[in-house]
Amino acid sequence: MSKQRLTIALQKSGRLSKESIKLLSACGVKFNMHEARLMVHSTSHPIDLLRVRDDDIPGLVMDGVVDLGLVGENVLEEECLERQMRQQANEYRSLRRLDFGHCRLSIALPTEQQFNSIEDLAGLKIATTYPRLLERYLQEQGVNAKSVMLTGSVEVAPRAGLADAVCDLVSTGATLEANGLREQQVIFRSQVQLIQRADELSAAKQQMMDTLLARIDGVQLAKE
């Protein structure tokens, strides 16, 4: 990566892409977007965008491959816990919580299933894309349940007989309902964070960084 230009990792295509680009645009950072491009150079500032899957963003920042990242706290915390377990570098600086990408990670059960308390999860298999967050929660609650890792189609797992319950991201709950599931317990609330690599930036990058942060704060204030 460049020594002079600030590199920002953001989601290539998905729920966070539009808002991430919108934020940078509102800060006056201009670029010619090419849908297919991995790397996009700003035409107005010494800033490069790296467009990747959201799951890759925390690791790119923690490994110091990029300077900044825009990512959901669900993905960030999961990667942190995973790296902690594997004794890999998991440090980063939390710069700002941003006002988009709001969702919650919740445990949901088939609608017909009785649920009175967390203890009712004992012995169940729970499908999730976030096994570390789920396991941490179960441990804190002292409940013995098993997580089943699925990277997609989590909400169909119970009907397919792969699991008894799910632990999945929810914003409105419509997807759960459409799959015969009822949200029972929120285990994590998430929004997007702007994160920075743990080590010092070069003077040139730090200067760009200070300008960018001041503008982000301005944009956030104007929205309130």
Partner interacting with residue 135 (select from ligand ATP, Zn ion, none; CB below 5-8 Å by kind): none
DSSP state of 31: B
**Angle, CA of 175, 129 and 174, to the nearest 5°:** 10
Site string for ligand ATP, 9-28 (x = CB under 6 A): --x--xxx------------
How many secondary structure helices (H) and strands (E) does the chain include?
Answer: 6, 11
- The answer to whether residue 193 forms part of the interface with ligand ATP (CB under 6 A) is no
Of the two residues 15 and 37, which places its CB atom closer to ligand ATP in the complex?
15
CB of 33 to Zn ion, least distance (A): 20
Choose which of 49, 61, 145, 169 interacts with ligand ATP (CB under 6 A): 169
Choose which of 48, 54, 67, 135 interacts with Zn ion (CB under 5 A): 54
- The answer to whether residue 158 forms part of the interface with ligand ATP (CB under 6 A) is no
**Angle, CA of 89, 103 and 86, to the nearest 5°:** 20
Binding residues among 55-74 for ligand ATP as defined by CB under 6 A? 55, 72, 74
DSSP state of 201: P
DSSP state of 28: T
* 11 neighbors 57 (Cβ within 8 angstroms): yes
Binding residues among 80-139 for ligand ATP as defined by CB under 6 A? 101, 103
**Angle, CA of 125, 72 and 183, to the nearest 5°:** 40
Which residues are near ligand ATP by CB under 6 A? 11, 14-16, 53-55, 72, 74-75, 101, 103, 169-171, 190
